Chain A
């Protein structure tokens, strides 16, 4: 067991416990703060997975901006723990059943490996052409010469330039929509 595995285990337990507390606390402020804790744990895991840029963005955008927005709205509306917070037992049964099935399904995904995917794709008929992006460069991991931000920036501003520009339009629409919806009278 390497040090990385141990650290991953610590962050994983932290994330799951925080998520559990997030969905079980009756007070929405406590829920929000436990969700922030989950996001910090996930940021740590992103660093372990060699995605340092995503980890920084995770802390800045999710734990910072988005959760502050949530806390603002909770405090603005002055919502406290509601007496009708929990659904009755059919809801719990449904939630437990659906989640158990989904969990089993997703854990079964652990059988995935790049080699197995390649083997299964190679047995497909040629008419189903394998898209090139399935294996762009499944090469050695090692440190990228472009640096942590460079390895994100290069594809983002070349191959994904159009989606990136469309994102800005999406954000503009969200800004205008949020103002229009939240304002009493324009």
Chain B
């Protein structure tokens, strides 16, 4: 295995012959390609099977356009990459280390002319649970599970799903939806129009969108900031003791479901919108300059601080 660790590994061998032929006779190549099209399609997929001995906290990096990526943490000190890539797509990689010891880093590139070509590429990457995984892709469906180290996932579209509780999790997307099932210690997720759903909590949480909905269900959040411009915010989790939660939305509705058991001081203000209190009998007051609404209330030991601000989005507090 270490012998392979030393070398780059060109995984696709389908293009060089065709490039050579194309230089010699474009017309002949075109005719040949048409004739061989059915055969080419049948053999269009190429299998990937790469294995590396690594450290337990290996850094794994993958960049390039990919259709489907499954990342699985396992209890072995090795990285295994399997799957299929379509013709025209090449996977190259290399490792960090001198080859005499397990690699501390694995880096791979997926080269494709565009997302369309690589949309059928499907890879499964098995990494040690404590690995730090970094992925940058275009439109992709990424499913990561059982990682306890770090995850840094960057896509444009598609879908990102994370199961488990990595120590650090960062997801950046444009219109991809993001689902996190677990309680990462540190979590940052950003989208433009994609929705973000966290089923769990976090010690340090930051969710940001422009128009995507932000939703947190269950778990305990110690420090959190949820920001959106037009998206809705739904928070139904426990504010950690002594924690601080901030919610900012310009025009999106904010729904907070809070528990009596977690003491907090809450300040809610909407510049031109409304504040509805269904948590207790405290009545919101008219906002500054006689418009909008404001509400301040304390419960329990008031150890947590919750601040909600909107420009015109309605704020609703639930029990």
Same complex for A and B? Answer: no
Binding site for A on B (CB under 8 A): none
A residues sitting closer than 8 Å to B (CB atoms) are none
